[in-house]
Amino acid sequence: MRAARLIKMVLLLQARPAMTAAELAAELEVSERTITRDAQALSEAGVPVYADRGRTGGYRLIGGYRTRLTGLGRSEAEALFLSGVPGALREMGLADAASAARLKVSAALMPSLRDASQSASQRFHLDAPGWFQDTPAPELLPAVADAVWDDRRVRARYRRQDTEVERELEPYGLVLKAGVWYLCARVPESGAYRVYRIDRFTAVDADEERFVRDEEFDLPGFWDERAAQFARGILRAEVVVRLTEAGVRRLPHATDAVSVREALESAGEPDATGRVTVTLPVENEDVAYTQLLSLGPEVEVVAPAGLRARFADAAARAAELYR
């Protein structure tokens, strides 16, 4: 941890003319005494850190000192920030760029730190897809990723139900959600931002001319908002169920988080048998049947009557099977 802190301290001093011990301590979340020791360690390692004494004093780098983190190409530098998601890098066609960037950074570090990338990769790994899924990367993902990096408009054809639609899009960002790639893009005609599944694209042609990005666009915030809208938007029906204590615990594993949260927030007190009655938002009765059937005897469907009848029939057939 200290090595990472020393590197950050050098980069902070490189980016600013001077910083006080208090400012460095706040940035690095350590004490001012630790800053004094770190400055001495850097000086002993050959980094020209100079300390100005006095009330207005501080630390600065002398002689125009710069770290040797140079020579990175644009694609390498961009890929470096994604190096924690190697699978995503491969799918976007950036694995080679990330590898080159890591080698250049490693070569610029002190010898004692050059195993940092290997050390980190053996301790932290992000596996984005969900369990029991083998989702192949969309064939057109690299072309879309190139357009996103370069801010180039694209003319895309994509499948919408049983038809194909052509749209001109300004690709703002990519999102990998549960193994599925999505494009967040602005439609120039309307100025609206929309989300597209990349595996539904059948053709993508990038223009030579770049578009001007809206600097206020926030990709994480936009995605969170749209994801919440989508999750709530598909819940167009409701079922009333009675759950045992075990059923309440297992409900989050049977249906989506939005539905569970709304149901449990409005739940009343347990009845004499210990069951809790909740109103559960669902996509439709067929989906509710499939999801709630996994709870077995821990759930009793109260309404609608048609769904309750289906559960009664399933219970009767199961009882006959095991009699």
Give the model's pLDDT for residue 185: 93
**CA–CA distance, 90 with 144 (Å, rounded to integer):** 14
Distances (CA, A) of 114 to 161, 169, 284: 52, 42, 56
Among 22-31, 76-85, 173-182, 227-236, whose mean pLDDT is lowest? 76-85
Residue 229 has pLDDT above 70, yes or no: yes
153, two tokens: 């408009």
Tokens 């699978």 belong to 87
Tokens 């940035």 belong to 27
Output the DSSP codes for 87-101.
Answer: HHHHHHT-HHHHHHH
Residue 273 has pLDDT above 60, yes or no: yes
pLDDT digits (tens, 9 = 90+) for 56-92: 678 888 877 766 654 555 555 555 555 556 666 666 6
pLDDT digits (tens, 9 = 90+) for 87-133: 666 666 766 666 666 656 655 555 555 555 555 555 555 666 666 66
Residue 41: pLDDT band with limits 50, 70, 90: confident
Among 88-92, 192-196, 251-255, 295-299, whose mean pLDDT is lowest? 88-92
Task: Quote the mean pLDDT of the chain.
Answer: 81
Which tops the pLDDT comparison, 203 or 89? 203
Secondary structure E strands in 30-125: 49-51, 59-61
Residue 188 has pLDDT above 80, yes or no: yes
Give the model's pLDDT for residue 60: 85
Percent of the chain with pLDDT over 90: 24
Secondary structure E strands in 108-151: none
pTM of the full structure = 0.56
